[in-house]
Amino acid sequence: MRHVTRYRIYPSHAVEQRLFTGFVRCTFVRNWCLENKVYRDSCLPKLKEEFPELKEVHSKVLQNVVQQIAHNLHALKRLKATGRKVGKLRKKWVHSMIYEQTGFKLTGNRLWLSKIGELPIELSRPVPGRIKQIVIKHTPAHKWFVAIISETSDAPEPTAGTRAVGIDLNLENFSTDTDGVVFEHPHNVRKTAKRLRRAQKKLSRAVKGSRNRRKQRVRVARIHEQVENRRNDFLHKWSRYYVDRYDHIALEHLNIRPMVESLDAKLRGRSRSILDAAWYKAREFIRYKAANAGTYVHLVDPAYTTQDCFLCGHREKKDLAQRTHCCPVCGYTVPRDLNAAQNILKRAAVGWGTPESTLVEIRTTTPPSPAVQVPVNEARISRL
């Protein structure tokens, strides 16, 4: 099993300059490969003879730069094969370096990197298993982080429990499940919009190239970083809530882009809330936590989960403002989001019963539990 742990590092001024120099060299190699259409790391020995300054960077770092280009091109090719409209890789600045197999050593709270030197590292938790890869990254907020990818021999045992839940991600709140638990939308962007607007106005008034503009750019980046940290903090707590309590979790396989680009005036006004919710990230958080815990996550088609009646299956179109499901055929009346969550769980149960999972029966006669508001603390976290 692979683990990714992220730590804060505090390089000295001299080490920081060597890191920035390494970024410049990696940027040159990446853009040279794109310009000359060379996508194999076998070009590096000749390139180092022509540009000796590339020897200041560890060999594995430059190899990973070229290999990453080939990986990105392969990903674009796969997207194009599925009919997606894709662009091309463009020249850009590199703000990270990848050490793999060699060139690094972690001793206590000191991290040594080849061609760079020693860096103090804040080990907020121990590194599990054997270290396979080190990723050094510099953020726009002028902070340094290291992501340590490690590997352990243990594997999670598949769950044998039958606790199941269906989760509906909606616009009224963040999520509603079949047990009636409602997570309110944190609205991190909305809460920070006023402060961000003022900071961006101050940035636009600053003289380009001035020291004050560089300082203000970092302040704006730190506001964006704070929003992202709060969002991740909420999503981690939300996903942990379900992974710790259930053995089978049913989620919608949502396609966010059509919802954001919709021409519907009612939906277009909520695009910011949809993007701020980060439903795709929420789904990935709950999937990797479930994989580590040995539980199952089932993705279902979200079509008509809101319109279909959970008890009788009658389909009736609802307006976005209609928040209560009231079936004209059987009279089943529940909150709209609760009915959708029950339909999601019902659809996911069709695929259960395979040798890798456990069949869970859905009792349609069981009355739904009342909605329960679950607060999630939004305390600011000092690190990721």
Which of 113-122, 157-166, 198-207, 229-238 shows the lowest mean pLDDT across its residues? 157-166
pLDDT score, position 87: 86
Q: What is the pLDDT of residue 358?
A: 33
Radius of gyration of the chain (CA): 25
Rounded mean pLDDT of 232-240?
94
pLDDT surpassing 50 at residue 243: yes
Residue 48 has pLDDT above 90, yes or no: yes
Query: Which of 285-294, 307-316, 335-344, 374-383 is least confident?
Result: 374-383
Model pLDDT, residue 351: 54
> 79-127 pLDDT, tens per residue?
899 888 888 889 999 999 999 989 999 998 999 999 999 999 999 889 9
pLDDT at 290 over 70: yes
Residue keyed to tokens 């890789």? 89
172, amino acid identity: E
Q: How confident is the model at residue 371 (pLDDT cuts 50, 70, 90)?
A: very low
Query: Which has more pLDDT, 174 or 360?
Result: 174
Query: Is residue 137 pLDDT above 80, yes or no?
Result: yes
- What span, in angstroms and rounded, lies between the C-alpha atoms of 228 and 225? 5
In the sheet where 117-122 sits, what is the strand order? 96-100, 130-138, 144-151, 2-9, 117-122, 110-113, 104-107
What residues have CB less than 8 Å from 197, skipping those under 6 apart?
A: none
Residue whose entry in the numeric block shows the structure tokens 């959708």: 340
> Helices 59-81 and 13-36 meet at what angle, rounded to 10?
50
pLDDT at res. 265: 55
The chain-wide mean pLDDT, for the chain, equals 85
Over residues 49-65, mean pLDDT = 93
Does the pLDDT of residue 350 top 70, yes or no?
Answer: no
Pairing between strand 333-335 and 144-151? unpaired
pLDDT at 381 over 70: no
- 188-205 vs 211-245: helix crossing angle, rounded to 10: 170
Query: CA–CA separation, 98 vs 356, rounded Å?
Result: 36
Question: Is pLDDT at 67 greater than 90 in this prediction?
Answer: yes
For residues 201-219, average pLDDT:
94
Q: How confident is the model at residue 380 (pLDDT cuts 50, 70, 90)?
A: very low
Confidence of residue 192 (pLDDT cuts 50, 70, 90): very high
Tell me the percentage of the chain whose pLDDT exceeds 90.
Answer: 51
- Model confidence band, residue 262 (pLDDT cutoffs 50, 70, 90): low
pLDDT above 70 covers a percentage of the chain that reads: 89
Predicted local distance difference test score (pLDDT) of residue 96 = 94
Q: Stretch 131-144: mean pLDDT, rounded?
A: 93
B/e letters for 180-219, b = 16+ CB within 10 Å, e = fewer, are bbbbebbebbeebeeebeebeeebeeeeeeeeeeeebbee
Instruction: Please provide the size of the chain in residues.
Output: 384
User: How confident is the model at residue 258, as a pLDDT?
Assistant: 75
Reference 66, options 37, 103, 101; nearest CA is 37
pLDDT at 215: 94
pLDDT score at 84: 84
| pLDDT score, position 129 | 87
- At how many degrees (to 10) do helices 279-293 and 211-245 cross? 50
DSSP secondary structure, 126-173, as one string = PPPSEEEEEEEEE-TTS-EEEEEEEE-S--PPPP----EEEEEE-SSS
* pLDDT higher than threshold 90 for residue 210: yes
Name residue 7's beta-bridge partners: 146
Instruction: Quote the pLDDT of residue 167.
Output: 92
Lowest mean pLDDT among 24-33, 198-207, 338-347: 338-347
